[in-house]
Amino acid sequence: MIQAALPPIVDSHCHLDFPDFEGERDALIARAREAGVTRMVTICTKLRQEPQVRALAEAHDGVFYAAGTHPMSVADEPMATVEQLVEMARHPKFVGIGETGLDYHYTAESAEIQRESLRLHIEAARRTQLPLIIHSRNADDDMAQILTEEHRAGAFDCVMHCFSSSAALGKAALDLGFYLSMSGIAAFPRSTELREIFAAAPVDRILIETDSPYLAPPPYRGKRNEPAYVAKTAVVGAKVFGLSYEDFARQTSANFDRLFRKAAGGEA
């Protein structure tokens, strides 16, 4: 068990508003604190739900939020506007744009509108100077092309959330100065190839996350995930990079501060 005396760590991506956590959000945030998780970013995936997500961040020290339209929802939700995202970003606890991106695994039929939505979110990231939070699944070629084209047109910061794509997409993102985020998938026994992709990346470009309530790392795999379990993924991440847990926690926290500047130093 990770003790609270260990260096603080950050869950850079979770979904505290999801109904899986109904009635126990205070308790799960307390469990996260006990595991050394002093900050977390809760992600709004549909802009109509932004008020509820914002309220969660306002109610808890060390909880920040980001908002965007998830690529799997863009066909069913009103198209986000750049102005809408920029206005939301004025909130002091709003720290990132997204999650946005491309998902051709479940929703390939909406690929065109997903690409349009992604470019709008990129423009909002440029204007706000907040990091873009990317979801990418089965869309490596289009994702690499769009990110490269758009970055060439005007720089922005970005994290490839829950990265589990190809080495080629990982390299393309790193070449643009972006970050790769390690989720519980990297801790699965059969994720050897993914761990090798992470091991080849600069450790100063790595974040850790839960994506809770999904993708719980061992020994909780198959159960509901929660922010406290990011400590389990961090243990695996430390081994991947040949670091002590303490050094990996410090490094990923420093990386988070560099990318999510509005949340830097905002620990509970």
Short-list 140, 138, 136, CA closest to 121:
136
Residues shown for the chain: 268
**Is 151 assigned a ligand-binding role in the annotation?**
no
**Is 135 assigned a ligand-binding role in the annotation?**
yes
How far is 221 from 176, CA to CA, in rounded Å?
A: 33
Paired strand residues for 97: 67, 132
Residues 196-221, buried b or exposed e (16+ Cβ, 10 A)? ebbeebebebbbbbbbbbbbbbeebb
Q: Do the strands 132-137 and 37-44 form a parallel or antiparallel pair, or are they unpaired?
A: unpaired
**In this structure, what token pair is assigned to residue 186?**
């990297």
DSSP string, 72-94: TTTTTSPPP-HHHHHHHTTSTTE
Element (H, E) at 202: none
**Is 105 assigned a ligand-binding role in the annotation?**
no
**Residue 8 near residue 36 (C-beta atoms within 8 A):** yes
How far is 170 from 181, CA to CA, in rounded Å?
A: 10
How far is 125 from 30, CA to CA, in rounded Å?
A: 32
**Residue 60 near residue 83 (C-beta atoms within 8 A):** no
Q: Do the strands 9-14 and 206-208 form a parallel or antiparallel pair, or are they unpaired?
A: unpaired
**Is 211 assigned a ligand-binding role in the annotation?**
yes
How far is 9 from 194, CA to CA, in rounded Å?
A: 22
How far is 63 from 110, CA to CA, in rounded Å?
A: 32
**Is 161 assigned a ligand-binding role in the annotation?**
yes
**Known binding positions for a divalent metal cation:** 13, 15, 99, 135, 161, 211
**Known binding positions:** 13, 15, 99, 135, 161, 211
